[in-house]
Amino acid sequence: MKEKKGRMIKIVVAVAIIVLFVWFFIIYPWGYFNKNENKLKEAAKHYFEINYRELPENNEIKTLSLSELSKQKYIDDLFVPYTKNVCSVNDSWVKVRKEGDSYKYYTYLKCGYLSSGVDHTGPEITLNGESEIILDKGETYNEAGIKRVYDKVDKELKIEDVQIKNDTVDTSKLGTYKVTYTAYDSLDNETVVERTVKVVQKLGGVINNDTSKRGYYTGQASTNYIRFSGMLFRIVGMNNDGSVRIVSAEDIANVNYDSIQSWLDNYYYSHLTDKAKKFLVESTFCDDRLQSTNLVSTECSTKGSSKKVGVLSAEDYAKSLEGSVSYLYTDTIVWLANDKNDKEAWTSRSWYAGVDASVKYMEFNKDYSFGIRPVLTIKKDTLIKGGNGTFEDPYILGDLESAKAGDKLNTRITGEWVTYGGYDFRIIETASDGTTKVISNNVLQISNAKPEISYQTSGDVKIYNPKEKGNIAYTIENETPNYIKTGIFAKHEIEVPIYKTHASYGKMDSSKKYKVKFAAPSLHEMFSASNINLTTSYWLRDSSKEANRKYLTANAGVVYYDKQHDNASAGIRIVAYIKKDSTILDGKGTQDSPYTLVK
């Protein structure tokens, strides 16, 4: 009997708890809410009793928000049950419509998790096409319109009733345009949908426009410059898949023919920024074996495997011709991708000493080291973020931003420019110790005089050695302070590559290491090749075990290592390391606006 009585007590308690729960969390809150809902409706009615001229006619709808009624003192604050939180004044409203001979009031109140059951959402608008459209500059924008308008209460609505605003898209001007679509249901609930139209400048579109849809540049092209990964390039043209090929606007280094791909893959590519690499795709490059009779062919019969970076072929040069003129011809000797036989490969130059000026290609032994102009392939549909393609204002893709005042120089990237002590330098890389490795853009000089030095050491073998008096290296280390301020530079270890005979990238026989402040550039180093500002030869630190073989870059821009001329002289172009605490004052890191440093 006691057990039965105990069970009954538990049941009664449980029922009581349930009843209390239902009362406190359902019945009372909803009752309280319904009272508030009725207060809102009565406030609206009172408003129209006074402002009866505002009552709508026919099937028109007049909406009064809780916010408006509160401001005009037709209603006091309404609160969420059990709290001091007011109901939503912006989302709550009363709508009135004349139906027959009387007016009907529709009330929607939102209080926390409680809200009225009246239809308060607008219809669903389904657009034709995408909600974001990207157009190339100059393309035609065609308004795609509406596919469907559907309301959960009114069902299918008329497409022609949708209001379209801001539908004038000017594709001659870059920018983002908004097209808005507005629809209402029978209770005047509104839905607004936007379509974004972005007018951009696609790299491919610019090329087609500049080249009259040929897809590649010819003649003396002057609007195909592009700054990428801190370096200046020329746009060559588009591949069949829409990707874009660019070539360095300068010789980066001098490399023997058989080491070109190794140098490109293992050295050059590593100096591109990670952000720049995201713009790139691999591509196949032409590497036909050519004879002099087919150097002018524009058709490639043999393509190699896909590569991250390569060099141009004779076929690329042939396509770029307009008559006998091409923007690709340079004053330096540049390797082409094509070889002639097992021992010789082709080069290009705007002129060759002692040869008819019309000759633009010559074959040389593959052991020689000539200029390398790397070629990269940019993804299809890449957008241009600025510039007009000229040398002064090249296109930019948004792969880097210039430094800000106060940034450390060692945070900057390969290829950017910095000025100090009256000389412009290029950044090669940031060293592991935080110093910044740079190379002077020109040879050292005093009052426009460019002093030249020569080896003044005994012995037939000339190895670059900063500890040996009379050695080129010793002179560079000790005489450089006479030509340039030295306070910003730090001593740093350099490596002197030593070869058995000819220099060949990655195949030195031995090396020596020294700690110095100033050194000659190495043959394979970034930006060590000649440029248009250099009219004086300069020494290189690469060395050979062969008697009298020394390396320098001649004033004609060609690497010179004829071992017969023991008395050769050349200028001083330096590689140095800027201290790790060096801070940028201003500048953009470009050739015409190099970074200046805080003194």
| Residue 449 pLDDT exceeds 80 | no
Q: Which long-range contacts (CB under 8 A, 24 or more apart) does 161-166 make?
A: 162/125
| Residue 39 pLDDT exceeds 80 | yes
State how far the Cα of 349 lies from the Cα of 251, in Å rounded to an integer: 12
pLDDT of residue 245: 97
As a whole number, mean pLDDT of residues 107-135 equals: 95
Phi, psi (5° rounding) for residue 53? -70, -20
Are the C-beta atoms of residues 294 and 344 closer than 8 Å to each other? Answer: no
Give the residue among 310, 167, 150, 308 at the shortest CA–CA distance from 236.
Answer: 310
Residue indicated by tokens 């345009």: 177
How is residue 60 annotated by DSSP?
-
pLDDT of residue 43: 96
The region of weakest confidence among 67-76, 136-145, 331-340, 473-482 is 136-145
pLDDT of residue 150: 97
State how far the Cα of 442 lies from the Cα of 109, in Å rounded to an integer: 77
pLDDT in tens, 206-216: 999 999 999 99
State how far the Cα of 549 lies from the Cα of 455, in Å rounded to an integer: 11
Are the C-beta atoms of residues 557 and 360 closer than 8 Å to each other? Answer: no
Helices (DSSP H) in 428-529: which residue ranges? Answer: 472-479
Q: What are the Cα distances from residue 509, in Å, to 254, 260, 267, 504, 506? A: 19, 19, 19, 10, 9
State how far the Cα of 204 lies from the Cα of 137, in Å rounded to an integer: 11
Give the residue among 89, 94, 148 at the shortest CA–CA distance from 118.
Answer: 94
pLDDT in tens, 254-293: 999 999 999 999 999 999 999 999 999 999 999 889 998 7
pTM summary value: 0.80
State how far the Cα of 388 lies from the Cα of 393, in Å rounded to an integer: 6
As a whole number, mean pLDDT of residues 378-400 equals: 94
Burial of 43 (0-12, 13-18, 19+ CB in 10 A): buried
pLDDT in tens, 327-386: 999 989 999 999 999 999 999 999 898 888 889 999 999 999 999 999 999 999 999 999
Beta carbons within 8 Å of 51's beta carbon, 6+ residues apart:
none
Q: Which helix (H) or strand (E) holds 191?
A: strand 190-202
